[in-house]
Structure 1
């Protein structure tokens, strides 16, 4: 016959096994220091002897409940909750050492820590429908307070806690109120474990972090985030408490970089609350970079990868981390940028430029950079001599007359212009900008302009700006006569820059194109005519550029083109700035030319500026009239290119695109109508 539950004033519990004063999780609270757990049921004013006697009876009843429930094999949720609440009850004693020892002995004899672990392991990880996990965390904290958990039980118990919570579905699929309180109970439990098992070596903190970091290494992003969150809050608790040692000391070295990277990701992506905790963790890292930022290449690669993404919200934080990393480990960072990051990537150059800005204000970093530029191993990687690479140090120091004369070595600079590394190439161009600004040195680098323009193959805005500036400076200083040997080659390389993403590059290249045409002599003009013809349509479109100075430069250059080509009608219309008349002028030449212009205008349909998209669509409509009948295949290509503009953000673009598409569709239907008309006229 099954044993009856012990006698108790609460008959309801005896009959059903259900808990009496079931408490819901408390209201949200801030996680600070854990306060010792205390009884909350006794509010009467009793004498000291009466209070001891009352507490003893209350605990005895809870112990009897625990003993009874332990004998039941299958426990429903109600019994589990009674068991866990009773564990908390017997541990809520006062500071009576004898009582605490008696409670701890009872807990150890009945293996209560193991029983709590088993309850956690029985919880389904695909749902959170009960408060068992929440109550289990409180029970573990209570057992820890009375030192009823053996040292060897702590790690398995922690592992069970983390698995039971971290592997739950995403929080949007859970009861958020219960889930939040469960996490807070876990944080309080971890803090109590630290306080109760604190030793001079802080081994318990090391053990907790070791278990947590295992979960940050899983492939499951939800698990990673939850484990990382616990680490953040532990770091806050530890750094505010009495721990005098670096928090990093307790994190496995192999996991420190991983924690930094996940913390940075969280700052850019997670909720406002988690972002706050992540920022606190990042502050811990930045205050102790020597301990945390040991793996320079790994951290640098993370910064590079995220700076190259479309998100800009994280960029200020990433640059802050880069600044600290550079100041702490200048040589390692400089070498890593040049050797570990992709050489021809624009983001690599952005990182390099940021570091150079630090070097300008730090003699230490500048000295290290000059030393790195004479590193033999680095020279071997880029297949240059130490004399050639060492020349670049002159681009970093004050440009005195003596330094510039030493830098002006065209043969060496020409070899350096062929380096396939944007950071080093940027230094070469930086030096050439300095040389191009002085007439006496600009003449010396005149023959390097084709090589300078060849750097445009990297499609990098910073490189393009410097190349354009160097070319314009040289053309200004050396005069037309000295510039003639290079004008034809230079003109060809300028055309792609007319539609560059940077308005500075667009304006500079157009003005330089104008200068190049003026510098050409009669025997060069024949070779340049085709290039100038190809520049007409881009210049026409750029007359509608949203940057006024670019639009103005385009109009002036178009006039110069017409003069170069001796095209009086185009020159007259370009001076009047009549865009529609210029379009008609270009298309009236012949059908073949009109057809060529039609296909050259298609790339402008994807231009970021609505004004240029409008001009391109309008021009295509006119070109269809002048170029004669197009094949069905070509009309399909044109319609496909125009189709996205039917949903353009600008009404004028949508309207004109719809009209041109209808015109294309009309042309496609014409051959069918002609064939049908021919059949109708067939003689009987």
Structure 2
């Protein structure tokens, strides 16, 4: 091939077979980056002597790839990949798949007609369950799934990608999920995507935030069609795994999980609404806290979902307070209207005292100051609250440490006061704990 490409002209068949030739060459690049057998090295040394080729076998393969692209007049592609050091990345076995992805993106960007042709060749290779080159092939395929010419092959792509979801390789799982995000936008594949629900929910336990975000994106894409209803078992499973994700370290995961939780509430089938009430009730306080999140998108999504949850639970008063953005009145009314669950609300608030976000720590302290006054004759819970607040009195933030100390003193004083003094039910005026204006809008 190298000798032919050095000629001033090339056979017309090179154009017709160029996708196959490129795939074969790229595969040769990958193979030659692996441990090369001694007999191959010996053979290549003889080739170097006879043909005056001073470079290694894998660099020679890359040089041939570039020559073929030059022959096909893909000059913009060559420059773009060179600028991003793609050819060097292609030479290392650990980064080969990144280079394949880069090559695919640049071909897709320049609307290169070879793009879908190469993808179809790789689709055929992947369908044979060939293991040793499936990561680079998958990396290329995922980048070009949105090509118009690939639409008619979406079913085959879905089948191939689905098989990689349970792969032991993190990179393969991540690439498979990226492909699934693209395919989940196609209404024609809705049934196939839905059949993967259980597998995807199992992967939500993954420690990799990017993997979790991709799975949540697949579910959200699937529910874009508002005519799609969620069955009761699926809604309950999703609600159970989504709630802990509100507090994920990755703010993008938090945002997507909150948005998906709202979609579940809105789209659950009628017969599934009653079993879902428990999960929605348990989401009220975490959503209230995240209304004060430092990430504006998370805060806005939390407020919208909190409003949806109050409506779902038919808590008219709380719904109106959220709608008017009177969030601290909401915080006062929640324990007042549901005194039987005050201890549960306080237990939910305690982990937020250790939040890396200062606004969330502050909101948690203020809520504990409000709800803690309803906790009477519950020595075990009271001791836990005192201990948690005491631990925060040495917080790195002077504001937080001071507020924790003030709240601790107020609660101790309230516990000593005669129970007959009681507490008023929620009013329309906002209270302040510790003499400082609460975080958020009032």
Please indicate the TM-score interval, normalised by the length of the shorter structure.
0.5 to 0.7
Q: Which position in structure 2 is the counterpart of 1:513?
A: 261
Q: Which position in structure 2 is the counterpart of 1:474?
A: 222
**For the residues of structure 1 that align with 2:368 and 2:209, how far apart are their CA atoms?**
30
**For the residues of structure 1 that align with 2:141 and 2:405, how far apart are their CA atoms?**
58
**For the residues of structure 2 that align with 1:328 and 1:415, how far apart are their CA atoms?**
27
1:395 aligns with 2:142: yes
Q: Which position in structure 2 is the counterpart of 1:333?
A: 94
Q: Is the 8 A contact 2:98 2:136 kept in 1?
A: no
Deviation at 1:570, TM superposition (A): 1.4
**For the residues of structure 2 that align with 1:329 and 1:429, how far apart are their CA atoms?**
23
1:658 aligns with 2:405: yes
C-alpha distance 389-482 of structure 1, shift in aligned 2 (>3 A): farther
> Which residue of the other structure, out of 428, 431, 434, is the alignment partner of 2:179?
431
Deviation at 1:601, TM superposition (A): 1.0
Q: Which position in structure 2 is the counterpart of 1:571?
A: 319
Deviations 1:239-280 (A, max 9, x none): xxxxxxxxxxxxxxxxxxxxxxxxxxxxxxxxxxxxxxxxxx
Q: Which position in structure 2 is the counterpart of 1:561?
A: 309
Tell me, what secondary structure is at the counterpart of 2:225?
Answer: helix
Q: Is the 8 A contact 1:379 1:389 kept in 2?
A: no
Q: Which position in structure 2 is the counterpart of 1:174?
A: none
**For the residues of structure 2 that align with 1:359 and 1:391, how far apart are their CA atoms?**
11
Q: Which position in structure 2 is the counterpart of 1:616?
A: 364
C-alpha distance 331-353 of structure 1, shift in aligned 2 (>3 A): closer
C-alpha distance 647-388 of structure 1, shift in aligned 2 (>3 A): closer
Q: Is the 8 A contact 1:544 1:612 kept in 2?
A: yes
Q: Is the 8 A contact 2:86 2:99 kept in 1?
A: no
Q: Which position in structure 1 is the counterpart of 2:111?
A: none
Q: Which position in structure 2 is the counterpart of 1:528?
A: 276
Aligned pairs (5 A) from 1:266-665: 327=88, 330=91, 332-334=93-95, 356-357=101-102, 360-361=105-106, 379=131, 394-397=141-144, 399-408=146-155, 413-477=161-225, 479-481=227-229, 486-631=234-379, 634-663=381-410
Q: Is the 8 A contact 1:598 1:620 kept in 2?
A: yes
Q: Is the 8 A contact 2:230 2:268 kept in 1?
A: no
Aligned pairs (5 A) from 1:49-64: none
Deviation at 1:333, TM superposition (A): 1.6
Deviation at 1:577, TM superposition (A): 1.9
**For the residues of structure 1 that align with 2:189 and 2:89, how far apart are their CA atoms?**
38
C-alpha distance 496-356 of structure 1, shift in aligned 2 (>3 A): farther
Deviation at 1:530, TM superposition (A): 1.1
Tell me, what secondary structure is at the counterpart of 1:477?
Answer: coil
Q: Is the 8 A contact 1:394 1:403 kept in 2?
A: no
**For the residues of structure 2 that align with 1:652 and 1:545, how far apart are their CA atoms?**
17
Tell me, what secondary structure is at the counterpart of 1:332?
Answer: coil
Aligned pairs (5 A) from 1:23-34: none
Deviation at 1:615, TM superposition (A): 0.8
Q: Which position in structure 2 is the counterpart of 1:145?
A: none
Deviation at 1:408, TM superposition (A): 2.9
What TM-score does the superposition give when structure 2 sets the normalisation length? 0.62
**For the residues of structure 2 that align with 1:426 and 1:658, how far apart are their CA atoms?**
46
Tell me, what secondary structure is at the counterpart of 1:333?
Answer: coil
Q: Is the 8 A contact 1:592 1:627 kept in 2?
A: no
Q: Is the 8 A contact 1:583 1:619 kept in 2?
A: yes
Deviation at 1:620, TM superposition (A): 1.4
**For the residues of structure 2 that align with 1:602 and 1:658, how far apart are their CA atoms?**
15
Deviations 1:191-237 (A, max 9, x none): xxxxxxxxxxxxxxxxxxxxxxxxxxxxxxxxxxxxxxxxxxxxxxx
C-alpha RMSD of matched pairs (Å): 4.0
Deviation at 1:540, TM superposition (A): 0.6
Larger relative contact order (C-alpha < 8 A, sep ≥ 6)?
Answer: 2
Q: Is the 8 A contact 2:178 2:214 kept in 1?
A: yes
**For the residues of structure 2 that align with 1:507 and 1:629, how far apart are their CA atoms?**
38
Q: Is the 8 A contact 1:404 1:435 kept in 2?
A: no
Q: Is the 8 A contact 1:374 1:389 kept in 2?
A: no
Deviations 1:581-616 (A, max 9, x none): 212222124444100110111111121221111111
**For the residues of structure 1 that align with 2:204 and 2:196, how far apart are their CA atoms?**
14
Tell me, what secondary structure is at the counterpart of 2:346?
Answer: helix
Q: Is the 8 A contact 1:517 1:564 kept in 2?
A: yes
Deviations 1:492-551 (A, max 9, x none): 222122222333332222222222111112210112111111111111111111222322
**For the residues of structure 2 that align with 1:607 and 1:357, how far apart are their CA atoms?**
38
Q: Is the 8 A contact 2:236 2:276 kept in 1?
A: yes
C-alpha distance 457-485 of structure 1, shift in aligned 2 (>3 A): closer
Deviation at 1:478, TM superposition (A): 6.4
C-alpha distance 586-326 of structure 1, shift in aligned 2 (>3 A): farther
Deviation at 1:644, TM superposition (A): 4.3
Deviation at 1:565, TM superposition (A): 0.9
**For the residues of structure 1 that align with 2:240 and 2:279, how far apart are their CA atoms?**
6
**For the residues of structure 2 that align with 1:492 and 1:353, how far apart are their CA atoms?**
36
Q: Which position in structure 2 is the counterpart of 1:17?
A: none
C-alpha distance 328-597 of structure 1, shift in aligned 2 (>3 A): closer
Gaps of 5+ in 1: 1-288, 291-322, 336-351, 381-385, 672-684
Tell me, what secondary structure is at the counterpart of 1:647?
Answer: coil
Considering only CA atoms, is the larger Rg found in Structure 1 or Structure 2? 1
Tell me, what secondary structure is at the counterpart of 1:605?
Answer: helix
**For the residues of structure 1 that align with 2:149 and 2:342, how far apart are their CA atoms?**
56
Q: Is the 8 A contact 2:306 2:322 kept in 1?
A: yes
**For the residues of structure 1 that align with 2:101 and 2:235, how far apart are their CA atoms?**
34
Deviations 1:34-89 (A, max 9, x none): xxxxxxxxxxxxxxxxxxxxxxxxxxxxxxxxxxxxxxxxxxxxxxxxxxxxxxxx
